[in-house]
Chain A
Amino acid sequence: MPEGVLCNKNKVATLEQLQALLADKSGKQYYQEMNHLEVDAKALWALVQKTCKSRIRTWLEICTHCGLCAESCFYYLANNRDPRQVPSYKIQSTLGQIVRRKGQVDNAFMQMAMDTAFSKCTCCTRCGIYCPLGIDMGVMFSYLRGLLFSQGFTPWEMKIGTGMHRVYRAQMDVTTEDWVETCAWMAEETADEWPGLEIPVDKEGADILYTVNAREPKHYPEDIAQAAILFHIAGENWTVPSEGWEETSLAMFAGDWEACKLQVESVYGAMAKLRPKRMVVTECGHAYRATVIEGPYWAGLPSGKPPVESLHYVEWVAEALRTGKLKIDPAKRIKEPVTYQDSCNYIRNGGLWEAARYIMNQIAEDFREMTPSREHNFCCGGGGGLNGIGRYREQRNVGLKVKRDQILATGAKLVIAPCHNCWDAIRDLEEVYEIGIRWSFLKPLLINMIEVPEHLRAEE
């Protein structure tokens, strides 16, 4: 049985296929089928020849095997310095082998490569900034994930995730109706306390087009309400699109570049339709990375930039605080020690560490940096889609130790994590290691410390 019913080289194209995958609890059948999946070595090699050009080939060739990347990798540190966790070793024994063997690899190799690419690397790209030759193994692992995906070797949740993007243009089964209804519901819920508050849908020419992570309408609708309250207080002329509201990209984690393009074009389509002045992305790291940093390339935009200027939520908050659109009540600043989780995707790979520091200095009296921090920070342990993959739960939990120790060293009990993945990983690390911390997005904290202008206050 070279091609399975669920595990195969085809992309999920229909709702039925998606439902069949979802019905397979924990991917039991899916992974069984994977054991028999045939590798089309010819197609694999053709893809490598077409897409593996001088950048990656040179990286693979000139690595001098110095091992400086070892200590940069949180997996290496979390696994008691296991040499098999050295980034150079991990990439040379997977992608390096595929290239050296001209694609002549078997099923067992592909499964090993998949396990390595997903459970030993979160594509945090930290190793790249510790390599004297500038070899970015995170980028290479992301590329490897794409090769694996093309052959059907991707974790069950990734196959589902890419299918969701293909079917729903969202990482979860949230339809346009669901989304618009959730916005209306949240506006209604919030309007009692905030007279005049609206969540305008499809308003043309707004100053801000606000876009989210599908988890928000699906599981955390209050996040949308909180965003609305803060825009309301700041007096922003904003809107959400009825379509193209989803910023995330499990397709990016999976290496399904076709679905990446489909997804990001839905957001750019909303920009074209509604012509906003700017876009603001919710507190999500990979969503920002996918739509603002990498997306323009998937969509083939020669400028390398999204069609309209796009901000991560921390940029908008920092700007609103600087311009006085949002004012912190000094009495309500966070008094206890608090630390900040720099997300790889918008800090190291997006350069937004100054905005984050500005916010922290405004809202916290005892802000404590993790060591290391900013662009040198370690991955939370749940990046690259790892939080969502059951097959690698154990490896993920081991990896969380580095973040646990970083947080403990600050002495802070509150961790601000304006990134869904980091937020989840930190929640899970508390569940696994019970170190007595709390974690939060910015929005709920800000709402409690913002000065509300007289005219916006609800009548008692």
Chain B
Amino acid sequence: MYEFVTGPLAWLAFAVFFVGIIVRLVLYVRGLDWKLDRVTYSVNTAYGVRGAVRSVLFWLFPFGTRSYRNNPGFTLALFVLHLGLIVTPIFLLGHNILLQERWGFSLWSLPGAAADLLTIGVIVSALLLVLRRIALPEVRIITTAYDYLLLAVAVAPFVSGLIARHAYANSQPWMILHVLCGELFLVAIPFTKLSHFVLFFATRAQLGMDYGIKRGGMKVKGISW
């Protein structure tokens, strides 16, 4: 079972994930329409690129924008969550060993304690975001069951992974569950709003181009995000 979920099933999950996000990006770009969107994407390109880069970069760093600065607690939780979600699985020692075994290469690995800290960061920040969803009326009104489900899908590999790593006896079932959760997460990304994993860059770049080309970007250095 373990061989299967970390073998063929992992292949499948990664294939769906990579092909999926590429398809999402391609479809997004192909669906842009300079007349409907009223942005000349392919004219005044230098302004567009500048606008896009600014729009992505400012929002890529905590407290880089006014919106982040106005909401420090949320921003902290948001970045701890996303940092953990992305960094932990890529640089986890266990994943790299598996990678070496199966595909013959590996990446630099995080010290175990750091990985644990990131994982706990993911879980705690996700919990805080859930509490925020429940506590704040302006968030509660737009929250749907689907939002909780996706958060659960994203956090499940971390919870199961943490247990599997620290369960001294009989960790195999937890490990299998962890791998399945991870694969579910990967597969869910292209098909759900978790696609913001890549579409964040697309929509940010689009609005950046809009501001960079049309909405004043040619008159001033750019909007202060």
Which A residues fall within an 8 A CB radius of B?
A: 51, 53-55, 57-59, 61-68, 70-72, 76, 81, 83-84, 86, 88-89, 92, 128-136, 293-294, 297, 300, 302-304, 348-354, 374-376
Task: Name B28's contact: one of A54, A88, A130 (CB within 8 Å).
Answer: A54
Chain B positions 30 through 69: 1 when the CB is less than 8 Å from some CB of chain A, otherwise 0: 1111111111100110000000000100010000011110
Which partner residue on chain B sits nearest A346 by CB separation? Answer: B216
Query: 4 shortest A-B CB distances, which residue pairs?
Result: A351-B216, A54-B31, A304-B40, A134-B207
Nearest CB of A to B127, in Å? 16
Q: What is the bound-complex CA distance between A350 and B68, given in angstroms?
A: 24
Q: Are A53 and B36 in contact (CB under 8 A)?
A: yes
- Interface contact A130-B67, CB-CB below 8 Å: yes
Does B113 sit within 8 A of A, measured CB to CB?
Answer: no
Tally of A-B Cβ pairs under 8 angstroms: 152
Query: How far does the alpha carbon of A83 sit from the alpha carbon of B78 in the complex, in Å?
Result: 22
Contact B139 A62 (CB under 8 A): no
B154-201 CB contacts (< 8 Å) to partner A: 193, 195-196, 199-200
Among A131, A297, A351, A353, the residue within 8 A (CB) of B35 is A297
B interface residues, tally (CB under 8 Å): 60
Q: Chain B contact residues: over half helix, strand or loop, or mixed?
A: helix
Q: Once the chains are docked, how many angstroms separate the CA of A83 from the CA of B204?
A: 25
B100 nearest CB across to chain A (Å): 35
Q: Chain A nearest CB: distance from B40 CB in Å?
A: 4
Q: For A68, list chain B residues within 8 Å (CB).
A: 67, 71, 74
The segment from B3-11, B83-91, B118-126, B140-148 found at the interface with A is B140-148
Which residues of B are found within 8 Å of A304, using beta-carbon distances? 34, 39-40, 43-44, 213-214
Question: Are B67 and A131 neighbours in the complex by a CB distance under 8 Å?
Answer: yes
- Contact of A133 with B216 in the complex, beta carbons under 8 Å: no
Is B217 located at the chain interface by the 8 A CB criterion?
Answer: yes
Report Cα–Cα, A59/B203, bound state, in Å.
8
CB distance from A283 to the nearest CB of B (A): 17
Known contacts A61-B193, A64-B147, A71-B70; decide if A133 and B141 are in contact (CB<8 Å).
Answer: no
- Which chain B positions have C-beta within 8 A of A348? 215-216, 223
Tell yes or no: B101 within 8 A of A by CB: no
Contact B74 A54 (CB under 8 A): no
Rounded to whole Å, the gap between the CB of A164 and the closest CB of chain B is 23
Chain A nearest CB, measured from B59 CB (Å): 6
Query: Please, how many angstroms separate the alpha-carbon atoms of A297 and B30 in the complex?
Result: 19
Q: Which of B199-223 contact A (CB under 8 A)?
A: 199-200, 202-204, 206-208, 210, 213-220, 223
Interchain CB contact (< 8 A) of A67 among B35, B66, B138, B199:
B138
Given that A53-B32, A294-B38, A302-B40 are contacting pairs, would A65 and B66 also be in contact in the complex, using a CB cutoff of 8 Å? no
- B66 engages A376 (CB within 8 Å): yes
Minimum distance in angstroms from A421 CB to a CB of chain B: 18
Which B residues are within 8 Å of any A CB, using their own CB? 27-40, 43-44, 55, 59, 65-68, 70-71, 74, 78, 133, 136-144, 147, 193, 195-196, 199-200, 202-204, 206-208, 210, 213-220, 223-225
A134–B208 touching, CB < 8 Å:
yes
Most chain B beta carbons < 10 A, residue from A68, A349, A376: A68
- Residues of chain B within 8 A (CB-CB) of A302 are 34, 40, 43
B47 to chain A, nearest CB (A): 10
Question: How far, in angstroms, from A129 to B58 measured CA to CA in the complex?
Answer: 11
Residues of B within 8 A of A349 (CB): 215-216
Q: Is the CB of B196 within 8 A of A64?
A: yes
Selected from B55, B220, B225, the residue in CB contact (under 8 A) with A354 is: B220
Chain B residues within 8 Å of A129, by CB: 66-67, 223, 225
Alpha-carbon distance between A348 and B215 when the two chains are bound, in angstroms: 7
Select which of A64, A84, A92 is within 8 A of B193 by beta carbon.
Answer: A64
* A–B complex contacts, Cβ < 8 Å, 19 sampled: A54-B30, A55-B37, A58-B31, A61-B195, A62-B195, A63-B193, A64-B147, A64-B196, A86-B138, A89-B141, A130-B66, A130-B70, A134-B204, A293-B215, A297-B34, A297-B38, A304-B213, A352-B219, A376-B66
Complex: how many Å from CA A131 to CA B202?
Answer: 14
* Set of chain A residues within 8 Å of B207, measured between Cβ atoms: 128, 134, 136
Residue of B nearest to A293 (CB): B214
CB distance from A338 to the nearest CB of B (A): 23
Closest to A54 in B: B31
How far does the alpha carbon of A76 sit from the alpha carbon of B139 in the complex, in Å?
Answer: 13
State the Cβ distance, A379 to closest chain B Cβ, in Å: 15
**Interface pair B137/A66, CB less than 8 Å apart:** no
Q: A129-B223, A304-B214, A349-B215 are in contact. Are A65 and B40 (CB under 8 A)?
A: no
CB distance from A147 to the nearest CB of B (A): 13
A284 to B135, alpha carbons, bound, how many Å? 42
